[in-house]
Structure formats: C-alpha cells, structure tokens
C-alpha cells in the first residue's frame, strides 16, 4: 500500500473518530440541557404546590383570627392567601396539563378548597355577624373551623402527593443528567486514547515505510 493511501486512510479514521466523538458529546449536551429545563420546571411545580399548601394554612389561620375578634388582621391574611392561591393555581393548572394523574390530584385540592373550605369560611362570617348569644355563636364557629381543619389536612395530603412526585422527578433527572455527563467524559477520554494510538501506529508505519527501502 502506498504511503499516500495510508495517509489518506489514517486521515479518514481520525476524522471518523472526531465526528463520532463530537456527535456523541453534542447529543449528550442536548439531552442534559433538556433535563436541566425539566428539572427547573419540576422545581417550579414543587415551589408552587408548597405556596398553595401554605396559603391554605394561612387561610385557616386568618379565619381563626377573624372569628377571635381580630377582624381586620384576619381579613388581611385571608386576602393575601387568596392572591397567592390564584397565582399558584394558574401556574399548576398549566404546568400539570401534561401529567393527568398529578393534575387530577391538584384538581381535587381546588375542589376541596372551593366546595368545603370557602363555604365553611362564609358560614363563619355569617355566624360571627349574627345576633345569637356568644356561647352558641362560638360553638357554631368552632364546628365550622373543625370542618376547615379537616378539609385543609386532606388538601395538604393531596398537595404532598404532587410535591413528592416532582421531587422524585428531579432526583431522576439529576441522576440521568449525571449519566450523560459521565458518558461524555468517557467518550472524550476514549477519543483521546484512540487518537494517540492511531498517531503512534501511523508514525510507526510511515517511518518503517520510509526507512526500510533505505
């Protein structure tokens, strides 16, 4: 085989190695970028689920303050919690659209809030403003507060399902991203090693081809 042919073959081998290594590393980088975006989205879902959960607790506390004659402070807390809920609800409804199971769990939370917690708060407001004597009034208010606490605990448990699922997704994404990073390192090291071997072999073959005739 002529030297020119051997040089061309060696060049093609090295070029193929470069292309294969570059393509693999590029693919891994793209996958890692997608995983990072997914991780961020899962973290945002987790944060908003926590915010919604916290707002339910604040709504409960605000109602308790309201019924304990701290009307202005109670209303302020409930209004603030409602604003947080609205923001988190809109985000989670959109973000969970691609996950029917988690969306169903969250919709159950919204249903509990709308059909159990809010009506109980309305009842407390009506009872508080009524003319019934204090002992009856606070007994009725406490009954409604008990309903609110039970409903809030149920809603918190459903939100915990959403948060646990997103935490699991984040952990899986981090592990998968690390695997891609490790693969890129292995490919880079393997490419360098193959390049060194190819260079040594090429140098040996060419030097032998040149020196033997002499």
Residues ≥6 apart with Cβ < 8 Å to 149 = 60
- Residues 145, 117: Cα–Cα separation, whole Å: 9
- Please give the pLDDT value at position 30: 79
pLDDT, position 172:
80
- The confidence score (pLDDT) of residue 48 equals 92
Low-confidence ranges of the chain (pLDDT < 70): 1-4, 6-8, 10, 202, 205-214
Q: Give pLDDT, residue 212.
A: 56
Q: What is the pTM of this model?
A: 0.73
Question: What is the per-residue pLDDT for 210?
Answer: 61
User: Closest Cα partner for 56 from 87, 72, 78?
Assistant: 78
pLDDT at 6: 63
User: What pLDDT is attached to residue 214?
Assistant: 52
């Amino acid at each position: 085989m002529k030297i020119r042919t051997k040089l061309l073959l060696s060049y093609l081998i090295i070029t193929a190695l470069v292309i294969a290594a570059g393509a693999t590393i590029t693919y891994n980088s793209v996958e890692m970028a997608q995983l990072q975006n997914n991780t961020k989205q899962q973290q945002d879902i987790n944060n908003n689920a926590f915010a919604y959960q916290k707002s339910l607790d604040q709504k409960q506390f605000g109602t308790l303050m309201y019924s304990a004659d701290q009307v202005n402070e109670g209303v302020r807390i409930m209004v603030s919690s409602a604003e947080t809920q609205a923001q988190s609800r809109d985000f989670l409804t959109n973000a969970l659209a691609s996950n029917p199971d988690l969306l169903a769990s969250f919709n159950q939370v919204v249903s509990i809030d709308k059909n159990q917690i809010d009506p109980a708060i309305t009842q407390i407001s009506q009872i508080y403003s009524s003319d019934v004597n204090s002992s009856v009034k606070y007994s009725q208010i406490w009954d409604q507060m008990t309903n609110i606490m039970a409903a809030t605990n149920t809603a918190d448990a459903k939100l915990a399902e959403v948060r646990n699922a997103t935490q699991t997704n984040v952990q899986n994404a981090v592990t998968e991203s690390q695997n891609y990073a490790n693969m890129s390192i292995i490919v880079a090291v393997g490419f360098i090693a193959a390049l060194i071997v190819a260079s040594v072999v090429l140098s040996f073959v060419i030097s032998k081809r040149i020196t033997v005739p002499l």
